[in-house]
């Protein structure tokens, strides 16, 4: 074998080793790229899941049987839920019928509330029997007060 043949053989061997090394690096690159893509996909799925969880938690509203204490030494009991009227967040109290008093609903702003105590429905009915709340009092209706005295209502 001549030195020229030896040189060609060495070049081919070196080329083969270089090609094999390049193949190994390409395989490693493809594996790393696949891992990175899988990691990115997993992070994206976690973000989507977290966003859905946040949306779900923001959609949950408070709903329970409660005794509601208001400023002005007033108490009321009923089914309490959150309500939004005119863009304002309000507390809705659905007072069930007790005795001859029919059921009614009242809304309160957050600043009117002193405390809210969640209780069982049976306790709400017991408290209502004791409190005997009325949806509207006579002093709220000037028309009714004037009607009792034979006077005409001012409105």
Q: What is the pLDDT of residues 140-153, one digit of tens each?
A: 556 654 555 555 55
DSSP type of residue 96: P
142's enclosing H/E stretch is helix 142-148
- 103-117: pLDDT as tens digits: 999 999 989 999 999
pTM: 0.52
Which band of pLDDT confidence, cut at 50, 70 and 90, is reported for residue 155? very low
CB-CB contact of 85 with 106 (8 Å): no
Helix (H) or strand (E) holding 23: helix 3-59
């Amino acid at each position: 074998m001549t030195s020229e043949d030896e040189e060609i053989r060495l070049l081919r061997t070196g080329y083969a080793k270089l090609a094999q090394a390049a193949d190994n690096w390409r395989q490693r690159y493809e594996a790393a790229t696949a891992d990175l893509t899988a990691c990115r996909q997993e992070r994206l799925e976690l973000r989507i899941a977290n966003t859905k969880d946040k949306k779900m938690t923001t959609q949950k509203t408070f709903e329970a049987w409660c005794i509601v204490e208001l400023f002005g030494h007033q108490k009321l009991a009923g089914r309490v839920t959150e309500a939004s009227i005119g863009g304002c967040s309000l507390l809705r109290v659905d007072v069930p019928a007790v005795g001859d008093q029919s059921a009614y609903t009242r809304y309160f702003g957050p600043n009117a509330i002193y405390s809210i105590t969640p209780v069982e429905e049976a306790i709400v009915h017991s408290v209502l029997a004791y409190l005997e709340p009325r949806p509207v009092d006579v002093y709220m209706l000037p028309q009714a007060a004037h009607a009792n005295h034979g006077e005409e209502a001012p409105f």
